[in-house]
Chain A
């Protein structure tokens, strides 16, 4: 229990206190503390990555062993991770090496392809969100259409009323107002709440009130 609960809680409390004080002290000692904290974080992270790779190979190895659904993909994952590591260590990671070519011409295009799927998902999500099934959804639909029109040259062109009565706003003006006034107010309100929430959770973790990240929290 001592190793599982008390010592981690004590470390959390002491480190929380030190870094809290560090924030208010503009001195070289204070900066040294913060730099050391970051260095330690990097070192611990490096040890953590070893465990992560063990976990990765073990999870995929078990899938291959059990012939889990789509297990050949696990073979590809293990083979490619080993291949990348091998060429990286064997031939270096500078420009125009095998490692960088594999990264630039295989991994980057694959990730780009995944990113490009977002365009289709946004369309389907927008269709679902903009169905005017209620008053709120209708308001959302109208606001979204105005903002979209306000962001393209067409919106400015079709604002015919502005040419007749220049005092009336164009789609661009209305879109800017929606983004800068009601939208900004909501975002700032949420931002304040999030800031307070972060403060509260940090304090609860430092004081040991919140322990569920260590397990059950009991």
Chain B
């Protein structure tokens, strides 16, 4: 028992200590968060009386993290804690800035001699006044205020020191102007010149850029010269405050820290309050440790207001269709969530109806409307008003408004409008095309080396920039009417017009694919034409003399011939005497293309004879004869005079599509076309863009057959010696003599790569020789299919050589599946087996140098062959012999000396000769403008 007591004592002590620690941790200590001040209730205007906004001021140093707002029609339920818990609080969490301890040494302002004096305001946070001490007021400031020793620009933690945290209203900046004199800056005014007018110097719209040397305004200079100080924020000079000052978050005195920075926090009570009822509410502020403080109970009464008056009203009479379009803004976007509108009514206004309660009712619209067409008989003198009604029948009316005079005129429908099936598209595309080819010119005139003369301006000249124009104004010293934006000007640099300019002419061709007009030509002042067959879209003329010049441009088709229609030619005469841009005369119409495509495209029979219908994507309830059921497919109007729609594979050759277009003029009037279609996208049986490829293939087959026939008749062809192939036997002999194996690498690619196939053809020859010489042949592979084919190739070669017993299947094996694992495996083989000869035939990548350098270091003879152009230099450097590019494909023929194989090489040579001839002819054609010949060999595959 005694023992138990002895042991129980420390346990009891620990237990007590634990309970004490836990209790102390749970008990809130320190001061609760600040009570929200300046609480106000704002009734939301024009709502249905079920919404109010409650707002209050929160200082940044407050420890409150959450505000709960309790409200009820019964004040008892708010005063009694038990009842209040049953209320659902409207909560507002507050995101606060991370506290930062400011650099107090930099922020010490004790030496500036400022005092803080509080002005108490009934029911509100006191206002902070910052006053600079002078010999006259120092004593009184000492008695009523506190000397400011530091200011903080960051939110400091509440426990930064022992000073009491207090809140005060005020917005002050610590102003610290930079040292040194202001540097004058330059400003450039485009296309202006400085002239002497009746008031002295004036800026006039003129030739070339004008450069002005400017400085700071008097006001800014005075602001800066006032030196280091604390200043009350002046919204009129806000730019200067933000430029030279930093906002003060807190002012620190000997006793207190006054937090000045605050925000208005607000939350919306929505929906579950009754208009006209009296509500009581209070706000409870909570901090991180759930300490609370709450406001006194307050009261509000929500009001059901009349709806908002329709604003921004306008009526436009469509003189073509006789319809009236009326537009209005029902609700301010900020108040849209609280909209309380049942309907809008549009009335014709009568002069006797001053109360706006009568007049002919033209239409009733639901609250989502903000515009409508109204059919009827209207005169230009007619006036209208719009009344909005809320759900309780309250009414607001707009001001009466008349018809805005317009000159709407329908644009012409585009020419040559057609719906076409796109060629070579795999049955996946349709296009709407229209118009004729049109060309426009835009000129950019540059002064290549601008020169200026400097004019000193007398004191008192200022530059005033109103946004639309820049004016030079003279003010007498001390003139108080000098605008704030005025910038003093010291001197002006006047541009000297040069004798010559550089001019670049950019042309734009407005066309569609069917027009086939890729090129243009241009001439200057009736001189020689310059063709742009590179489709650069730009002509440049350097050192063009100032004066009048004429530019002529014509669109050319793909054959290089001029296009005949009038819009395909443009002549522009301009006076070139100053830098600038002369805009082109581009069409202003826009074309909207609308598509209807909701159609049954398939039926799928599932289990139990359930048939599912498959529809194209598109607007539901589509009717081919009703344009309102179409959907917008796109908008065109810049360069392309077509719209092409492409669909995925699943919709290929399916569905019937309908289109129509709307041509919009710049004033918004439009013209609609008839409905085009139906049309189904169709596949073609021959890709017409590949015609030249087919011709070359046929030509090639013809040459192959021709030379094969010649070879069969016994004709012998000369083959250029290829060093790499000629030394194959030497490498094999060396391996035999040394008694070391051969290594054959087929590259990284699969069996579908022609280089791999070429490597396999050479492998067959090498394997046969290896079998004859009884030399071991190792073939590590990276691709499974290549492995199988290589095994079969080597096995057959050994059988053909009469040495099936020498074939070892394990010597042709799968080494690794990834690039560098394979390189490591093959390099290891070279080092371990000291291979006498290494062959690399196929497609290689970055591993080529790792393989061949290892082979070179292990002393092997190396022969490589690849068509990978990037790897050929590495092979040439490290291998003894290299088959470059096409030599790899010729190797098999060279090794076999089979007349048929050699004959095929001759066919290749013939085609090569044709290629060379075509290259020469193509160069001549391109230079001479025979574009039809150049375009014979162009293949456009992107559709």
Contact = CB atoms under 8 A, between A and B. Distances in A.
A156 B119 CA distance: 69
A83 to B, nearest CB: 15
A41 B700 CA distance: 28
A193 B912 contact: yes
A59 B814 contact: yes
Given A24-B687, A118-B850, A209 B787 contact: no
26 contacts: A24-B687, A24-B694, A25-B685, A27-B427, A28-B426, A48-B784, A51-B787, A56-B815, A59-B814, A69-B832, A73-B828, A114-B823, A124-B853, A128-B877, A193-B912, A196-B886, A196-B912, A197-B867, A203-B704, A204-B704, A207-B704, A209-B708, A212-B793, A216-B768, A216-B801, A217-B896
A117 B781 CA distance: 22
Contacts of A205: 757
A26 B425 contact: yes
A147 B894 CA distance: 37
A217 B761 contact: yes
A194 interface: yes
Interface string A184-218: 00010011111011111111110101101111111
Contacts of A104: none
Interface string B787-804: 111001101110111000
A26 B761 contact: no
A194 B885 contact: yes
Contacts of B453: none
B813 A216 contact: no
Given A51-B784, A197-B890, A216-B797, A27 B685 contact: yes
Most buried by B among A4, A28, A191, A216: A216
B889 A209 contact: no
A58 interface: yes
Contacts of A122: 849
Contact of A56 (B754, B814, B884): B814
B901 interface: yes
Contacts of A200: 700, 704, 889, 904-905, 907-908
A204 B690 contact: no
B761 A212 contact: yes
Contacts of A25: 684-687
A199 B869 CA distance: 17
A30 to B, nearest CB: 8
A201 B784 contact: no
- Tell me the interface secondary structure of chain A in the complex: helix
B788 A125 contact: no
A216 B885 contact: no
Given A58-B813, A193-B886, A197-B867, A114 B850 contact: yes
Contacts of A124: 853
Interface residues of B, number: 92
A177 B905 CA distance: 34
B596 interface: no
Contact of A48 (B765, B788, B812, B904): B788
A212 to B, nearest CB: 4
Given A51-B784, A192-B915, A216-B796, 7 more contacts: A24-B687, A24-B690, A25-B686, A118-B846, A118-B850, A200-B889, A214-B764
Contacts of B652: 28
Interface in A39-92: 41, 44-45, 48-49, 51-53, 55-56, 58-59, 62, 69-70, 73
The CB with the most chain B CB atoms within 10 A, among A30, A196, A205, is that of A196
A128 B700 contact: no
B426 A26 contact: yes
Contacts of A197: 758, 867, 885-886, 888-890, 908
A94 interface: no
Contacts of A117: 850
Interface in B805-858: 810, 812-815, 817-821, 823-824, 828, 832-833, 846, 849-850, 853
A210 B754 CA distance: 12
A129 interface: yes
A196 B915 contact: yes
Contacts of B915: 192, 196
B417 interface: no
A95 interface: no
Q: Interface centre among A20, A73, A114, A214, by most B CB within 10 Å?
A: A114
Contacts of B551: none
B878 A187 contact: no
B297 interface: no
Contacts of A194: 867, 869, 885-886, 889
A206 B905 CA distance: 15
Nearest to B757: A213
A69 B886 contact: no
B795 to A, nearest CB: 8
B787 A52 contact: yes
B683 interface: yes
Interface in A1-18: 4
Interface in B889-918: 889-890, 892, 896, 898, 900-901, 904-905, 907-908, 911-912, 915
A10 B810 CA distance: 30
Contacts of A198: 754, 867, 889
A213 B789 contact: yes
B653 interface: yes
A144 to B, nearest CB: 10
Which of A4, A191, A197 has the most chain B CB atoms closer than 10 A to its own CB? A197
